[in-house]
Amino acid sequence: MVRNIITTYPNKELFEKTRDIPKDQIRSDTYSQIGSSMLEILRKRGGIGLSANQVGLPLNICVIELNSSNPMILLNPRITKYSDKMVPSMEGCLSLPGAELKINRHQNVVVEYEDVRGETQSIEAYGLLSSCLQHEIDHLKGILMINRVGNYHKDKAVKAVHRYKKRGRA
């Protein structure tokens, strides 16, 4: 169902907006299984967040696991509130292997989403969780971290990805 391959830059699928999952379909085991498979891939790759379009699925679902005791599967996540204060966040991305960028993110956000039971949840996030949620929700909108920086930093990041791939690591 979920392929074990991470889609990497410059694949055009990464720049396409995902589609919402109809609320009446969420309760099927399908989305719980997709989320569990994505968490497995995330753990194998050593990441903290993964979006469905990074594994070839055009669905509005992402997973986040900052620590093993609290894995999160978020369906149709949406940011409903942003703080005014912006903070720098050093970020990497499984779809941009070898690249690391400083991205300005909102210090905290409120995110609403459906869980795998179809229940609407809300989370107020700060720090790393806030940055990770913003990063993954960007993915679901077809926005990569390189779209959040100027051309100089974007070019450096793209070159880092090419070097990484050339060494046969991606």
Catalytic residue positions, numbered: 136
Dist. CA 110–CA 59, nearest whole Å: 21
Dist. CA 96–CA 7, nearest whole Å: 9
Nearest residue to 89 (alpha-carbon basis) of 81, 100, 78: 100
- Written as six digits, the tokens of 104 are 């300005």
- Written as six digits, the tokens of 10 are 């410059």
DSSP string computed for 54-86: GGT--BSEEEE-SSTT--EEEEEEEEEEE-S-E
Nearest residue to 38 (alpha-carbon basis) of 162, 146, 139, 170: 139
Name the 3-class secondary structure at 111.
Answer: strand
Nearest residue to 52 (alpha-carbon basis) of 78, 73, 79, 23: 73
